[in-house]
């Protein structure tokens, strides 16, 4: 069992030089300055919660990706790449690109035309107040849990690399985020996320470049991984024909349907954390371009996230273990792979830049969760259920106080995350609980006129409870894994994929059955909410290279080529 002392005291791997410390201090000062500067432009609800809906496609697109590219991505997927090999790349390619393109071409017109402030806000228009309340409460709960992941990730970096106290790392960083989001609202979060996107790439590129040089290139890296682990760790698709032939213990059906369809489409099209950034775009064309721009960069992210984990398989002297065993043996957990690689390759100056990149990742993920939580709480819980008659100024003040409150709750959840050997197992479990059934409700609402308010509510509720129930079933009886994940040898990640698929199917079936038993809305009330009864605005006559559909096709072709190359 891990003692409290073991969690807070750790031998440092490196020491910061004066240059490294100066880089980190300058970054903290810069993000706070941006927050104070933008405070004067966050006095109305539209400005504070939606950044005035005036972001360009590039700003919205980079913020859209950066809100997802937090320390969870940097550390969590590096850990998963060490644990599962190149299979972790699926979460960036099939687990992201098709869904981002679908959001752009199919779903953004409905979100943007309805001028909703949130995904729960769309559900209110489509299904009624009960569906909005259920989705808002579950989303708020999930968001604060996710915020804790970013806090824990940052504290882990400080512990492993610098030997800093975990409490100090959590509180300094989280209060900084609380300050600039409370001051400048979503606009402050977006501008800082664009800054953080640049810093993440500048700092995180160090490890893969220097690591590939040490390994002697990609071909030699694969040979070293095959020698230290197995050739299975370097194949993207060819090992997925059987549950037993790959490190994740998953079949291709789990990747394609559980991840590629349910979890991926659920996250990228209904998780308000990322959708909020696109809703802040200045017009519909920019809103459609933003996810495509984000998707193009998303395909490149494995180079700075997955590759460090694969390098760990090749160059670290021993395979890492779970957290508890790692502490007991003096080793390190999966989650610590990226900090270990950073310490391995970065000297003075470069170390400061690399640490700043991880801090920027933490800030980005944390700010994304906090700003989304603030909007959903204020508009979809507080105003809808508690105080519907407040002034605009009152709701802005509520949003600012809610920012502080959300950060404090997140601090508590950071300590919960410490109990998981792999961050991403924890995250995917949350997605299967809340995101998978929500996607079933939203997609039926947009594409099926016959879906009714009671159908949407009961489908979402039963889908969510069924996912949590399956998780509890496997925890109570591990033999249930053969029924949930279709294999007794499935790993945690595989279980999450299949649980998400089943909960989505249950949500859809319940929604359909209840909808046929209840009265639908009149067609006239569905305009702007459902395909078939909504006039989709046509883009202005622009050259083909300026049309979202053209760039979506380019990104789609690149996606197919990459999957073939790494088959």
Tell me the pLDDT band of 324, cut-offs 50, 70 and 90.
very low
The CA-based diameter of the chain, rounded to the nearest angstrom, is 69
Q: Are 497 and 255 in contact (CB under 8 A)?
A: yes
> In this predicted structure, what is the pLDDT of residue 506?
94
Cα–Cα distance for residue pair 172/163, rounded to 1 Å: 15
Task: Enter the tokens of residue 143.
Answer: 């968001």
Does position 513 have pLDDT exceeding 90, yes or no? Answer: yes
Taking residues 519-526, report their average pLDDT: 85
Q: Is 92 helix (H, G, I), strand (E, B) or coil?
A: coil
> Could you tell me the pTM of the whole model?
0.74
Looking at 205-258, list the stretches that DSSP marks H as alpha helix, in order from N- to C-terminal side.
Answer: 206-215, 218-228, 252-253
> In this predicted structure, what is the pLDDT of residue 2?
33
Greatest mean pLDDT range, 200-209, 518-527, 543-552: 518-527
Tell me the pLDDT band of 557, cut-offs 50, 70 and 90.
very high
pLDDT in tens, 39-64: 666 555 555 555 556 677 777 777 77
Cα–Cα distance for residue pair 98/555, rounded to 1 Å: 9
> In this predicted structure, what is the pLDDT of residue 505?
93
> In this predicted structure, what is the pLDDT of residue 423?
62
Q: Are 425 and 414 in contact (CB under 8 A)?
A: no
Taking residues 475-491, report their average pLDDT: 80
pLDDT in tens, 166-198: 677 777 767 777 776 666 666 666 666 777 777
Closest CA to 46 of 299, 378, 435: 378
Q: Which of 98-112, 251-265, 419-433 has the lowest mean pLDDT?
A: 419-433
φ, ψ for residue 281, nearest 5 deg? -65, 155
pLDDT in tens, 386-400: 887 777 778 777 877
Does position 410 have pLDDT exceeding 80, yes or no? Answer: no
pLDDT in tens, 129-155: 888 888 888 877 777 777 777 677 667
Taking residues 218-224, report their average pLDDT: 83
φ, ψ for residue 333, nearest 5 deg? -90, 170
Task: Enter the tokens of residue 551.
Answer: 């760039």
Tell me the pLDDT band of 509, cut-offs 50, 70 and 90.
very high
Which residues touch 26 (CB under 8 Å, ≥6 apart)?
A: none
> In this predicted structure, what is the pLDDT of residue 23?
78
Choose between 502 and 247: higher pLDDT: 502
Q: Are 194 and 56 in contact (CB under 8 A)?
A: no
> Which residue ranges form the domains of the chain, and what is each CATH number?
14-535+542-565 (1.20.1730.10)
CA atoms within 13 A on the CB side of 328: 7
Does position 328 have pLDDT exceeding 60, yes or no? Answer: no
Cα–Cα distance for residue pair 387/481, rounded to 1 Å: 45
Which residues touch 438 (CB under 8 Å, ≥6 apart)?
A: 119, 135, 138, 139, 266, 270, 460
> In this predicted structure, what is the pLDDT of residue 335?
62
């Amino acid at each position: 069992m891990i003692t409290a002392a073991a969690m807070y005291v750790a031998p440092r791997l490196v020491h910061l030089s004066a240059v490294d410390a100066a880089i980190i201090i300058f970054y903290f000062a810069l993000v706070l300055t941006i927050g104070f500067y933008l405070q004067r432009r966050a006095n109305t609800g539209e400005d504070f919660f939606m950044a005035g809906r005036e972001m360009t496609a590039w700003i919205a697109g980079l913020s859209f990706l950066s809100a997802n590219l937090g320390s969870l991505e940097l550390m969590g997927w590096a850990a998963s790449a060490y644990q599962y090999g190149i299979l972790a790349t699926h979460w960036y390619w099939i687990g992201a690109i098709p869904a981002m393109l679908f959001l752009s071409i199919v779903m953004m017109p409905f979100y943007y035309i309805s001028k909703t402030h949130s995904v729960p806000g769309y559900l209110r228009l489509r299904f009624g107040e009960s569906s909005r309340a259920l989705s808002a409460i579950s989303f708020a709960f999930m968001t604060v849990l996710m915020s804790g992941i970013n806090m824990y990730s940052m504290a882990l970096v400080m512990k492993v690399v610098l030997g800093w106290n975990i409490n100090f790392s959590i509180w300094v960083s989280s209060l900084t985020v609380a300050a600039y989001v409370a001051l400048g609202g979503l606009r402050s979060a977006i501008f800082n996320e664009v800054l953080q996107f640049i810093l993440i790439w500048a700092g995180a590129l160090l490890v893969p470049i220097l690591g590939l040089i040490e390994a002697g290139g990609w071909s030699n890296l694969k040979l070293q991984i095959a020698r230290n682990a197995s050739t299975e760790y370097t194949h993207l698709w060819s090992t997925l024909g059987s549950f037993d032939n790959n490190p994740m213990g998953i079949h291709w059906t789990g990747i394609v349907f559980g991840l590629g369809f349910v979890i991926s489409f659920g996250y990228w099209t209904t998780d308000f954390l990322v959708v909020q950034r696109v809703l802040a775009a200045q017009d519909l064309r920019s809103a459609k371009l933003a996810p495509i721009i984000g998707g193009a960069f998303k395909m490149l992210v494995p180079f700075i996230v997955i590759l460090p984990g694969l390098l760990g398989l090749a160059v670290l002297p021993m395979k890492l273990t779970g957290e508890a065993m790692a502490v007991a043996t003096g080793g390190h957990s999966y989650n610590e792979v990226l900090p270990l690689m950073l310490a391995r390759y970065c000297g003075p100056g470069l170390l400061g830049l690399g640490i700043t990149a991880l801090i920027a990742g933490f800030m980005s993920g944390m700010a994304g969760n906090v700003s989304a939580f603030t909007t959903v709480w204020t508009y979809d819980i507080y105003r809808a259920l508690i105080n519907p008659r407040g002034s605009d100024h009152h709701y802005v003040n509520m949003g600012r106080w809610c920012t502080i409150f959300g950060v404090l709750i997140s601090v508590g959840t950071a300590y919960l995350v410490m109990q998981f050997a792999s961050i991403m197992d924890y995250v995917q479990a949350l997605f299967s609980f809340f995101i998978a059934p929500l996607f079933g409700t939203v997609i039926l609402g947009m594409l099926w006129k016959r879906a009714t308010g009671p159908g949407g509510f009961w489908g979402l509720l039963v889908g969510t409870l069924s996912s949590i129930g399956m998780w509890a079933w496997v925890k109570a009886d591990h033999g249930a894994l053969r029924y949930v994940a279709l294999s007794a040898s499935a790993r945690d990640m595989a279980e999450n994929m299949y649980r998400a698929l089943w909960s989505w199917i249950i949500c859809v079936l319940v929604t359909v059955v209840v909808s046929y038993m209840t009265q639908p809305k009149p067609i006239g009330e569905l305009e702007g909410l459902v395909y078939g009864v909504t006039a989709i605005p046509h883009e202005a006559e622009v050259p083909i290279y300026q049309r979202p559909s053209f760039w979506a096709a380019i990104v789609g072709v690149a996606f197919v080529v990459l999957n073939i190359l790494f088959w």
